[in-house]
Copies of this chain bind each other. A is one copy, B any other.
Amino acid sequence: MSELAEPTVDPADWTCPAPLRDQPVVVMGHGGGGALSAELIEQVFAPAYGNATLAALTDSAVLDLGGARLAFSTDSYVVRPLFFPGGGLGDLAVNGTVNDLAMSGARPAYLSAAFVLEEGVELAVVEKVARAMGAAAEAAGVVVATGDTKVVESGHGDGVYVTTSGVGLVPAGVDIRPQRARPGDVVIVSGPIGLHGVAVMSVREGLEFGVEIASDTAPLADLVAAMLAVTPDIHVLRDPTRGGLGASLNEIARASGTGVRLSERSIPVPDAVANACGFLGLDPLYVANEGRLVAFVPPSAAEEVLAAMRAHPQGSGAAVIGECVAEHPGMVVVATGLGGTRVVDLPLGEQLPRIC
């Protein structure tokens, strides 16, 4: 072996995540929606595909197709366990992709559903997932229009993995993307945070926190339509899934070159989530949500948008949690209850792997 050759690293020796450039192998954090995921996109996928659309890092791409503005999005769902309080894999696979489309302002229309099944999984389990998808699609007003099924040998999967893709049209006059955040924008979250992550974690680890915590999984396209009915000039929408609100706000701050300043007191964290996070050593700001959105709204429209959100079942717990500022561009800070501030950084990976 040449002395200049790269040292060989045994994947078994890797015990903690580190920046991608120093790692020869995939670690769990590469799927966590944080800094490692971003590096994978920027250093591997975007150069390989050779286009700028992907590099925009939005929840869904908005594309020209025959003069129409098509929103197109995809997500694989590998949540474990398959069923949890408040929902299951099937609900996530529909709502997650519906929401990614809605975050561009699109009206979701059609979904595809591709299953990778592990040999030996009970057909009743597959059917339960599929029926949940059908029910969630009906609730969200979309049609599962096409699909695929592959089977892998036992020991090469984990029961059921589902990949959904979705398409929809973006209405005229709507231009919602992270780059449009600007100083003065009011930052609104649509409801209490942290429920999905804690719900999955509790059932996975057999933990109880006195009260059953249910996932918030829900379709948000109708809520977005209600917001757009107030004004088409909503600047940014994001559903804070993997990596939670902290990751989403960091991505927006970096994409737009603005700062975000939150007020800790105003962030709606349910007591049960706060208690569970305290017990588990987690920060609610980084816990995944599956039925919440964060919006950046011009100040002139903020009050009316907030009222429209609160009038909608999916936004009844909406709250203003901060503002977009010109200071500390690319950085998110939170004003604590004690009068100090702390930085909310982009997480490296996900605190809770396989949360969606």
Contacts and interface: CB of A to CB of B under 8 A. Distances in A.
Contact of A146 (B53, B114, B144, B148): B53
A53 B111 CA distance: 12
Interface of A: 11-12, 14, 20, 23-32, 37, 40-41, 44-45, 48-51, 53-54, 60-61, 63, 65-66, 68, 70, 72-78, 109-110, 112-124, 126-127, 130-131, 133-134, 137-138, 143-153, 155-158, 161, 163, 165, 167, 169, 353-354
B115 A76 contact: yes
Nearest to A59: B146
B70 A149 contact: no
Main secondary structure, interface of A, reads: mixed
Q: What is the copy number of this chain in the assembly?
A: 2
Contacts of A145: 51, 53-54, 61, 63, 72
Given A144-B54, A156-B157, A31 B149 contact: yes
A26 B61 contact: no
Contact of A130 (B45, B122, B151, B157): B45
Contact of A123 (B44, B50, B158): B44
21 contacts: A11-B120, A26-B119, A26-B151, A30-B117, A30-B151, A32-B151, A45-B130, A49-B113, A50-B134, A50-B138, A66-B68, A72-B110, A74-B113, A76-B114, A77-B150, A78-B116, A78-B150, A78-B152, A114-B165, A155-B155, A165-B165
